[in-house]
Amino acid sequence: MRIRDLMSTNVVAVDENTSIHDAKRIMDAHKIRRLPVMKKDKLVGLVTKHMLLEASPSPATSLSIHELHYLLAKMTVKDIMVKKPYTISPDMPAEEALQLGQEMGYGAFPVMEGGRLVGMVTESDIVRLMTRVLGVRGQGKRIDIKASQDFGNMQRIMEILDKHKTVLLSMMTLPPEHEDDDWLVVLRLQSEDAEPIVTELKSSGFNVT
């Protein structure tokens, strides 16, 4: 699954001279937390709701309400935005974007193609995708298996599922922390009763945890 398969293409963006007040109003109206900032159709920055809140004067300030409105009217997104934000390609795999976001501490990325802004993708978009991939929305049973790295183990597991005519919603493998330890294989099955499968897995030598 690529970023183009889950990104938002109807991107709401603002000009760099948009006031702080207007940017906040736009975010509230569209129920979004980030705005790409443009200058003559070129992406030059990114502003978040958190930035807008930090830019707003504190209630403890000694300025009058008229002075506050005057200062806010003068401030634009250009004054507070992240300049030259990190962007990704629509062809980047979703899991790479999620890892990149975690490493860099970013919750969203503008998506660029051919020098044009073509979309926005957020961490929530990717997590929703992973939720679908892992099959956690569907009703079913989960089985955890500790398995060695020996070739043929996966085939044996699949043969047992086929024998019980069980639909596999998802399968995830987690590598061990230490080289000699077993892998964790997590199965999600479309089944109301997984006990017969567990019994046969155990009798076949698998460590069902």
Which pLDDT tens digits describe the chain residue by residue (209 residues)? Answer: 899 989 999 999 999 999 988 999 999 999 999 999 999 989 999 999 988 888 765 444 555 555 556 666 678 999 999 999 999 999 999 889 988 988 998 889 999 999 999 999 998 888 887 777 666 666 778 899 998 878 888 899 999 999 999 988 888 888 888 777 888 898 989 888 899 999 999 999 999 98
pLDDT in tens, 48-81: 998 888 876 544 455 555 555 666 667 899 999 9
Assigned fold of 136-208: VC0802-like (3.30.2130)
CB-CB contact of 14 with 106 (8 Å): no
**What is the DSSP secondary-structure string of 89-142?**
-TTSBHHHHHHHHHHHT-SEEEEEETTEEEEEEEHHHHHHHHHHHTTTTS--EE
What is residue 147's predicted lDDT score, i.e. its pLDDT? 86
Tally of CB atoms within 10 A around 17: 11
pLDDT in tens, 88-108: 999 999 889 988 988 998 889
Assigned fold of 3-131: CBS-domain (3.10.580)
CB-CB contact of 20 with 56 (8 Å): yes
Q: What percent of the chain is modeled with pLDDT above 90? A: 48
Domain boundaries, the chain: 3-131, 136-208
State the burial class of residue 156 (Cβ atoms within 10 Å of its Cβ: 0-12, 13-18, 19+): middle
